[in-house]
């Protein structure tokens, strides 16, 4: 079975940057399935922009490994989804191609940065999509839009072809309406790729199981405290109660390093970003630099004009955090904080098999609501720790607050993606039954 999928969606939420009206597909596990790909994942022959003007018109001459795998599995790649510019945001509002709206409530943001992928799935335009998660960018929009999203263990999915924002933190991951589809997409993309030196050869071959009797679920106090909307906390506690009803037992755990997590996360991601985004100079790709100007002036003008404000702010923050005289205070301290957090999780996972909490401290914001950087950054507090620790984390919908979706987040030990999928599956099966 092979052919072409006609794809002409009613993209009323601005979920896509590029759509492929005639998407070829072939035989395989995903034969003929429409899959949307976040626009920071390279697709050979299809424009890949990272939602930035600086990459407008860039057509990669190669496929990211996950895209190669999708094609091999027979999927039809139907489009490239909207996102925060270079993944730098929690709302998909920093896209150079306009914000995406939340299908659950179009006056609200879909979350970010993989907001386009989440909205495309939530609106039923595609059954599955790929997102990327640097500090919560899969789980946040999954929670805000009421779908399922998995951030895999660091090193489990190849980053080859993912346009880097923060290399040491990010992973590509699956997003879908159901845990089963997330698991199915994960088993396609989690294959060893020697081109990503940070990978470990642990392919994911798993069918979700709802059997969680005896599963020890860690409840970290830090995930239910200050800054978390009490109604969100309440609905997540209810969800944990359902897990208990299925035979899981809860244990209190603590991640004391959480108080440093967000600062450490922002120092690390902006530092890496400042270096990663330095290559965008209009020479080899993207809108052309003005070669009549002197080179510093030419680069500065191009980068001022074509990068959005948040991207420029993060590049400058990272530049500062690495600069002479400050690297010890910021970058080096952030690395220590990161290791402390990783060790906190390791300790917690001695007592618990998975850790559960809310994905986001609140429900989806109104469009334009979070305009100052700090208040936006603070909303990553519950998701960024899993990226710092490199552990798998899934967001699965659990009830609503004021009609807006709330996400239950389940984190697991490194390379125990299967276990978090099972826990999420058990919950989903129970509440959907």
Partner 1 sequence: MKTIVGLEIHVQLSTATKLFCGCSTDYRDDEPNTHCCPVCLALPGALPRLNKRAVEYGLRVAKALDMKVLEESEFARKNYFYPDLPKAYQITQYDKPLAVEGTVEIEDDEGHEKIVRITRVHLEEDPGRLVHVAGGSKYSLVDYNRSGIPLLEIVTEPDMRSPQEARRFLNKLRTVLEYLGVFDGEREGGLRVDANISLEGSERVEVKNISSYKGVEKALTFEVTRQKNLLRRGQRVTRETRHFMEGRGITTSSRSKEEEHDYRYFPEPDLRPLRVADWVAAIDLPELPTARKNRFMTQYGISLNHARTLTGDPKLADFYEAVAHVDPVLAATWVADTLLGELNYRDMGIAAVPVERIAELLALLRSETITDTAGVQVLREMLDTCAAGKPCEPPAMIVEREGLARATGDEFTQVVEKVIAANPHAVEDYRAGKKGALNFLVGQVMKETRGRADPRELGKIVSEYIDTGGV
Partner 2 sequence: MITESDIEHIAELADIGISKDEVPEFTTQFNAILDYFEVLDTVEGESAPDAGIVNVFRDDEPRPCLSQEKTLENAGSTENGFIKAPRVM
Task: Pick one of partner 1, partner 2, none as the site partner of residue 334 (Cβ within 5 to 8 A by kind).
Answer: partner 2
Determine if 73 is a binding residue for partner 2 (CB under 8 A).
no
User: Which of the residues 42, 113, 235, 274 is marked catalytic?
Assistant: 113
Q: How far apart are CA 425 and CA 31, in angstroms?
A: 24
Q: What angle do helix axes 179-189 and 65-72 make, rounded to 10 degrees?
A: 110
Which partner, partner 1, partner 2, none, binds residue 175 by CB below 5 to 8 Å per kind? none
42 belongs to the catalytic site: no
Q: How far is the CB of 82 from partner 1 (least distance, A)?
A: 17
* Nearest residue (CB) to partner 1, 33 versus 48: 48
Contact 97, 18 (CB under 8 A): no
Q: Which of 349, 415, 410 lies closest to 382 in space, CA to CA? A: 410
Cβ(175)–Cβ(142) under 8 Å? Answer: yes
Binding mask 373-412 for partner 1 (x = CB under 8 A): ----------------------------------------
> For partner 2, which residue of 255, 267, 391, 394 counts as binding (CB under 8 A)?
267
Q: Is 319 in the site for partner 1 (CB under 8 A)?
A: yes
What tokens appear for 91 in the block? Answer: 């709302």
Q: Which residue has the tokens 């965008």?
A: 280
Per-residue tokens: 239? 């969800």
CA distance 299 to 305: 10
Q: Which of 42, 52, 95, 137 is catalytic?
A: 137
Alpha carbon 337 to chain centroid, angstroms: 22
Count of C-beta atoms within a 10 Å radius of residue 27: 12
Question: Does 385 engage in binding with partner 2 (CB under 8 A)?
Answer: no
Among 118, 132, 153, 91, residue whose Cα is nearest residue 386: 153
Q: Which is nearer to partner 2, 42 or 132 (CB)?
A: 42
Using rule CB under 8 A, residue 61 touches partner 1: yes
Tokens encoding 50: 């990272």
| Closest among 170, 187, 194, 154 to 70, alpha carbons compared | 187
| Binding test (CB under 8 A) with partner 1, winner from 29, 31, 327, 431 | 327
The DSSP-derived string for 295-341 is: HHHHHHHHHHHHS-HHHHHHHHHHHHHHSTTTTIIIIIHHHHHHHHH
Chain residues binding partner 1 by CB under 8 A are: 41-42, 48, 50, 55, 58, 60-62, 64, 159-164, 167-168, 194-198, 271-272, 274-275, 278-279, 281, 283-285, 291-292, 295-296, 299, 319, 322-324, 327, 331
| Residues of this chain that bind partner 2 (CB under 8 A) | 57-59, 61, 194, 197-198, 200, 259-260, 262-264, 266-267, 274, 278, 281-296, 298-301, 303-305, 307, 312-313, 315-317, 319-320, 323, 329-330, 332-337, 339-340, 372-374, 377
């Amino acid at each position: 079975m092979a052919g072409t999928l006609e794809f002409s969606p009613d993209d009323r939420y601005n979920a896509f940057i590029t759509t492929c009206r005639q998407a070829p597909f072939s035989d395989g596990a995903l034969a003929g399935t429409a899959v949307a790909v976040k626009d920071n994942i390279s697709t050979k022959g299809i424009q890949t922009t990272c939602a930035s003007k600086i990459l407008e018109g860039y057509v990669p001459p190669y496929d990211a490994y996950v895209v190669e795998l999708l094609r091999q599995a027979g999927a039809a790649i139907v489009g490239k989804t909207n996102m925060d510019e270079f993944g730098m945001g929690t709302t998909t509002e920093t896209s150079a191609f306009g914000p995406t709206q939340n299908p659950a409530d179009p006056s609200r943001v879909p979350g970010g940065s993989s907001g386009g992928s989440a909205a495309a799935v939530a609106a039923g335009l595609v059954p599955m999509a790929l997102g990327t998660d640097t500090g919560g960018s899969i789980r946040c929009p999954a929670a805000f839009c009421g779908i399922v999203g998995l951030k895999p263990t660091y090193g489990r999915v190849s980053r080859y072809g993912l346009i880097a924002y923060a290399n040491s933190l990010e992973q590509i991951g699956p997003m879908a309406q159901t845990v089963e589809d997330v698991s199915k997409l994960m088993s396609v993309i989690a294959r060893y790729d020697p081109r990503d030196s940070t990978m470990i050869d642990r392919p994911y071959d798993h069918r979700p199981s709802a059997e969680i009797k005896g599963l020890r679920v860690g409840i970290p106090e830090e995930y239910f405290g200050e800054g978390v909307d009490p109604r969100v906390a309440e609905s997540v506690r209810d969800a944990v109660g359902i897990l208990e009803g299925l035979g899981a037992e809860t244990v209190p755990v603590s991640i004391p390093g959480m108080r440093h997590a967000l600062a450490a996360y922002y120092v690390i991601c902006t530092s890496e970003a400042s270096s990663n985004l330095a290559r965008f100079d209009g020479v080899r790709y993207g809108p052309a630099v003005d070669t009549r100007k002197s080179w510093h002036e030419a680069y500065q003008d191009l980068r001022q004009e074509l990068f959005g404000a948040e991207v420029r702010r993060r590049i400058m923050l990272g530049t500062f955090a690495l600069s002479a005289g400050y690297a010890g205070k910021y970058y080096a301290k952030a690395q220590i904080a990161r290791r402390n957090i990783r060790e906190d999780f390791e300790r917690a996972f001695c007592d618990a098999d998975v850790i559960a909490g809310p994905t986001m401290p609140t429900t989806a914001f109104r469009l334009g609501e979070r305009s100052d950087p700090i208040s936006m950054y603070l909303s990553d507090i519950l998701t960024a720790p899993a990226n710092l620790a490199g552990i798998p984390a899934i967001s699965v919908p659990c009830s609503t607050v004021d009609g807006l979706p709330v996400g239950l987040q389940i984190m697991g030990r490194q390379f125990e993606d299967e276990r978090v999928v099972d826990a999420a599956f058990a919950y989903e099966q129970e509440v959907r039954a």
